[in-house]
Amino acid sequence: HFRYFLLRVSRAPSRGHFLHGPYPATHFGPKACVLPNPTSVMHIQDPASQRLTWSKPPLNVLVIRKIRDETLLEPFKELCRFLVEEKHLMVYVEKKVVDDGSLMTDDSFSAIRNQLCTFREGYDDISDRIDLIICLGGDGTLLYASSLFQGSVPPVMAFHLGSLGFLTPFKFESFKTEVDKVFEGNAAIILRSRLKVKVVKGMFQRNEQLFSPQENGIVLNEVVVDRGPSSYLSNVDLYLDGRLITSVLGDGVIVSTPTGSTAYAAAAGASMIHPNVPAIMVTPICPHSLSFRPIVVPAGVELMITLSPDARNTAWVSFDGRKREEIQHGDSIKITTSCFPVPSICCHDLVYDWFDSLAQCLHWNIRKKQTRLTDASDSSETEN
């Protein structure tokens, strides 16, 4: 039960386009139409109008800090001091962060440290206590935050203090101003879809197991099935809503969200998709076929991956790069879109932030500028 909800903002009459496409016409010509189905009626809010507001003032804040990085000690202490002393909030941090030797020996931080609430991943459930998550570090901190909440996720505010920072749009230099703005509400928010993963073990093990929180049953970036340490090609079958679509013969296959399209999938040759596009991406890893290109399927389908009957070896599956597990003959992996996205707070808006990250982090379409022609006759001699 969190203290936030999405605010539907009335749209100015002058704006004539939306991030979602127009609702399609259901009448075709004078006599044909789509068969009416009341149960399939959906009202989808346009992503551009999604704003964050609070039903009650937030009281409990989870601060996630990139560990083993000494450069984040001072920003972490500044943020905690601000939240505790100035905002009078209850701050939760992971126990191993508080037990850091540099923090334990810092007498000036001891008063704040004693007021922090600690938890241990895999032992303490804090999913129903947190109103806001603040991340300090790189993209891994947001992935870690996602793994802590298998159900509803509080809003996430991510500060760029890591190496890449594609998912962390905020600059820490102005953290007090930015946090105050979020607490006031009306911040732009982007809903990053996640994948729900089930592993069905063996033909003779009918127990369908949903991963426990520490095993990452919900992923934000991707599910990767690969050949592991074997020298043989991976050979897996891909099903879509129960129908065999194709077999993947190669190093493996990546099933990713639009958020994950700029991660491993992009390195494997997939297109980059804006996080608000409802879709699931299927990207082969070094396929042994020149015609096997990455595909995009609707977000509502169920994908299933199994070892092909004639596969020469087992396969391995990982979830957002964690918790690798061996997949044997008779096992299957079922993947669907989760009902619980990650609500990421935008620094500017959901379009500008994404393209800014493409340019700043991935150097998308960066090249030396072409110079203009100084004389019409130059065009016949050379082209700069």
pLDDT 10s digits, 271-321: 999 998 999 999 999 999 999 999 999 999 999 999 999 999 999 999 998
User: Are 180 and 271 in a shared domain?
Assistant: no
**Which among 131, 139, 331, 353 is annotated as catalytic?**
139
What whole-number distance in Å separates Cα of residue 25 and Cα of residue 32?
11
Query: Per-residue pLDDT for 269 more than 50?
Result: yes
**pLDDT number for residue 369:** 86
165/229: higher pLDDT: 229
Query: Per-residue pLDDT for 3 more than 70?
Result: no
**pLDDT number for residue 100:** 81
CATH number of the structural domain spanning residue 137: 3.40.50.10330
Q: Is residue 133 in a domain? A: yes
Q: Is residue 124 in a domain? A: yes
Query: pLDDT tens-digit profile of 124-158?
Result: 889 889 999 999 999 999 999 999 998 899 999 99
User: Are 85 and 118 in a shared domain?
Assistant: yes
Are 288 and 250 a contacting pair, CB within 8 Å? Answer: yes
Averaged pLDDT score across all residues of the chain: 85
**pLDDT number for residue 381:** 56
User: Are 355 and 335 in a shared domain?
Assistant: no
Are 227 and 315 a contacting pair, CB within 8 Å? Answer: yes
Question: Which structure tokens are listed for 377?
Answer: 């006759």
User: Are 333 and 348 in a shared domain?
Assistant: no
**pLDDT number for residue 186:** 84
Query: pLDDT tens-digit profile of 160-218?
Result: 987 778 899 999 999 999 999 999 988 899 999 999 999 988 754 444 454 433 344 89
Number of domains in the chain: 2
Q: Is residue 47 in a domain? A: no
Q: Is residue 33 in a domain? A: no
User: Are 356 and 334 in a shared domain?
Assistant: no
pTM for this model (two decimals): 0.85
Q: Is residue 368 in a domain? A: no
Query: pLDDT tens-digit profile of 107-118?
Result: 889 899 999 999
Are 190 and 350 a contacting pair, CB within 8 Å? Answer: yes
Q: What is the DSSP string of 271-286?
A: PP--TTS-EEEEEEES
CB burial readout 65-87, b (16+ within 10 A) else e: bbeeeeebeebbbebbebbbeeb
User: Are 98 and 228 in a shared domain?
Assistant: no
Q: Is residue 78 in a domain? A: yes
Question: Which structure tokens are listed for 356?
Answer: 């800014």
Query: How far are the Cα atoms of 158, 308, 324 from residue 332, in angstroms, in the given order?
Result: 35, 10, 15
What's the pLDDT band for 10 if we cut at 50, 70, 90?
A: very low
User: Are 182 and 227 in a shared domain?
Assistant: no
User: Are 227 and 121 in a shared domain?
Assistant: no
User: Are 222 and 183 in a shared domain?
Assistant: no
Query: pLDDT tens-digit profile of 340-378?
Result: 999 999 999 888 899 999 998 888 998 888 888 886 555
What's the pLDDT band for 383 if we cut at 50, 70, 90?
A: low
User: Are 327 and 350 in a shared domain?
Assistant: no
Mean pLDDT of 95-123: 88
User: Are 153 and 68 in a shared domain?
Assistant: yes
User: Are 232 and 102 in a shared domain?
Assistant: no
What's the pLDDT band for 38 if we cut at 50, 70, 90?
A: low
Q: Is residue 329 in a domain? A: yes
334: Cβ–Cβ under 8 A, 6 or more apart, which residues?
A: 197, 198, 199, 200, 302, 303, 304
Percent of the chain with pLDDT over 70: 82
What whole-number distance in Å separates Cα of residue 304 and Cα of residue 130?
34
For residue 139, indicate whether it is catalytic: yes
CATH number of the structural domain spanning residue 247: 2.60.200.30
Residue 164, domain extent:
52-193+343-362
371: Cβ–Cβ under 8 A, 6 or more apart, which residues?
A: 384
Q: Is residue 112 in a domain? A: yes
Residue 35 has φ and ψ, to the nearest 5°, of -60, 120
Nearest alpha carbon to residue 359 among 281, 277, 262, 276: 262
Query: Per-residue pLDDT for 75 more than 50?
Result: yes
